[in-house]
Structure 1
Amino acid sequence: MNARHGSGRDIDGDVYVSPRYLASTTGMGDPALAPLLDLGWELQHDDLGNAYVNAPDRRVRLGYLPEGDDDGLWRINAYQDPFGPPAWGVCFNDRVPTEFVTAFTTALATAYGQGPDVYLARPVSGIAEHDPFLAVVPLLKQGWEVDRPHWGVFEVQAPDGLAGLELTTGHIDPEAELTTRDARWQLRAGKSIDRPVWYATASTDTPVALLTAVTECLADPAPLPRWRQDTLSYIKGMAQLTPILPPGLLAPTPLDVRRAVASHRPAALPAASVPRWSTTSRPALPSPRP
């Protein structure tokens, strides 16, 4: 079922999850595939139900791999040479909020339309729009804090400590960052750094504009709609859930609640309704944090 927001648009869920990085996947790949398919990219499936999307020039490839060998659900690679090694690679695991993946593919579709000088643009420190630290700015603007410095890693954490971004500044093995979690960039959510609930990785030469699209979506203070009954759609025990109100029903004010408690009557609260990497490289395998 769909609940409707006051704006009139459909909301796919019966609760809002906040902060949004404590939401999880919607379990639907279509929203994130749509920006690329709308450009006419080729869609293929294998016998297991995995989907593969290829740019017309075969220089960008996406795999949506629900039946892959590991938890890398989304794998996107770009190539200088369609027959060469990846220029950059990005992975989103199977519990990353779908909205974050969609933000990436939307930015990728825009960059692809502008040509290889954009979707293959390497980050360069100190060069305006290509400075890698620009991707961190949306998080800092929302109160994320720089963690105490440790050698070779720049890290920022959400105010509640339940999400973080790591930028490795030291040397990284080029092949390892395309096939493991030991990548230049890593986003994560959950209490454990080594075993996060969800994670996303990006290799050294991933364009800054694509990374920034994800961090802007991550930093957005608006909650995400999810179904309360589907406990895998949010991080249970950490996320704050707020019922989505039906049209025309206003939430009770604090004064309404106090009056209801004082008169031993239940407040008029609304009842909640019930309702993997490129096709040419090795699968990514989770590895311990260095």
Structure 2
Amino acid sequence: MSPAPDPRSDIDGDVYVSPRHLAGSLAIGDPALAPLLALGWDLEHDDLGNVYVNSPDRKIRLGFLPEGEDDGLWRINAYKDPFGPPAWGVCFNDSTPTEFVTAFTTALAEAYEQGPDAYLTRPVADSAEHNPFHAVVVLVNRGWQLDRPEPDTFAVKAPDGLAALHFTTGHLAPEGELATRAARWEIWAGTSLDRPLWYATASTDTPVALLKAVTECVSDPAPLPRWRQDTHSYVEGMAQLTPILPPSPPAPTPLDVKRAVSSRRPATLPAASVPRWSTTSRPPLPGPRR
């Protein structure tokens, strides 16, 4: 059972979608851009509405491409040399839940502040810190199951079978990893890998910390808020949609109860407050005769 969302958090939607890998994308990209813009990265845009964000040293570039040539809405590349080929590349398609992209850009911002050794470190199988399967262990610990859909593919799939992460073994062409879905890592949701609800890819040398940030967010048991009319058509029958209700008022404290009782208690008059000339006053005693 998923934990109840925190009613004090900011909510944008009228239903909670669970599991979250069926939530779909938000209509805006601002939340995912915010961690990088907060560091002072440059933002540019073209006449079509595409947005480009560059790190100050030009070694990391992000493209938010709603008018791109394909469905790759988010493309992030990192470079050892600003004028050389990318060291690694990541792509999120246009239906990927924006929270997953935000998890990646947040981890990327943290890595950038630490320096090139953090955002350009290649995964190493025999490394305690940079072992690529650290990103997979997160999923297994949260109930995802091992799978082997093809001889050259290692995979884990979500408990409901509607999301999976694939790791392709063997040699891959660097150009293909950056420009197509034929990348080392692919995480997706839906009933078919050929036509997924959404997908995200990462090339061979993508740092493990960035991959792990995504797998932790994808497998988080907390639901995501969405407007019901924006949910994918077939999600209605596969995801659990829970109406978002306004938060209940907080329970009164003992001090609140005491104050309420005091406000309803009638004021009491002093003991000797009978009006001087009221009808209940005793007549004056006769004075002495002259």
Q: Common fold, TM-score beyond 0.5? A: yes
Q: For the pair shown, which has the larger CA radius of gyration, 1 or 2?
A: 2
- Counterpart of 2:23 in structure 1 is 23
Measure the CA separation in 1 of the matches of 2:211 and 2:234: 23
The aligned residue for residue 154 of structure 2 is 154
What does residue range 259-274 of structure 1 map to in structure 2 within 5 Å? none
Deviation at 1:233, TM superposition (A): 9.2
Letter in 1 for 2:155: E
Tell me the secondary structure at the aligned position of residue 111 of structure 1: helix
Q: CA deviation at 1:229?
A: 1.7
The offset of 1:149, in angstroms, is 6.2
Q: CA deviation at 1:174?
A: 1.2
SS class of match (1:77): strand
SS in 1 for 2:73: strand
Find the counterpart in structure 2 of residue 281 from structure 1.
none
Partner of 2:77: 77
Q: What code does the residue aligned with 1:125 have?
A: A
- What is the 5 A alignment of 1:8-47? 8-47=8-47
Kept in 2: contact 1:226–1:233 (CA 8 A) = no
Q: Scaled by the length of structure 1, what TM-score is found?
A: 0.82
2:185·2:202 contact (CA, 8 Å) conserved in 1? yes
Q: Residue in 1 aligned with 2:177?
A: 177
Task: Give the Cα–Cα distance (whole angstroms) in 1 for the partners of residues 17 and 96 of structure 2.
Answer: 14
Q: 1:135-284 residue pairs with structure 2 within 5 A?
A: 135-148=135-148, 150-232=150-232, 235-248=235-248
- Compute the displacement of 1:122 (Å): 0.2
| Bigger RCO of structures 1 and 2 (CA < 8 A, at least 6 apart) | 1
Output the amino acid matched with 1:224: L
Structure 1 pair 233/95, CA: closer, same or farther in 2 (3 Å)? farther
Cα distance in structure 2, aligned partners of 1:234 and 1:177 = 30
Rounded to whole Å, the distance in 2 between the matches of 1:103 and 1:231 is: 21
Structure 2: runs of 5+ lacking an equivalent: 250-290
How far did 1:247 drift? 1.8
Q: Distance in 1 between matches of 2:155 and 2:148?
A: 8
Q: Identity percentage over the alignment?
A: 73
Asked if structure 2 preserves the Cα contact closer than 8 Å seen for 1:104 and 1:214, the reply is yes
1:140-197 alpha-carbon deviations (Å, 9 max, x no partner): 0111000136321100001111000000111111111111000000000000011111
Alignment root-mean-square deviation, CA:
1.6
For residues 212 and 22 of structure 1, what CA distance do their matches in structure 2 show? 19
Structure 1 counterpart of 2:82, one-letter code: P
Pairwise CA distance, 1:238: 1.7
Counterparts of 2:26 and 2:149, CA distance in 1: 35
**Counterpart contact for 2:24–2:231, Cα < 8 Å:** no
Give ranges in structure 1 of 5+ residues lacking alignment: 250-290
Tell me the number of residue pairs that the alignment of Structure 1 and Structure 2 aligns.
Answer: 246
In the other structure, the counterpart of 1:57 is 57
- TM value normalised by structure 2: 0.82
Q: 1:31 to 1:234 in 2, by over 3 A?
A: farther
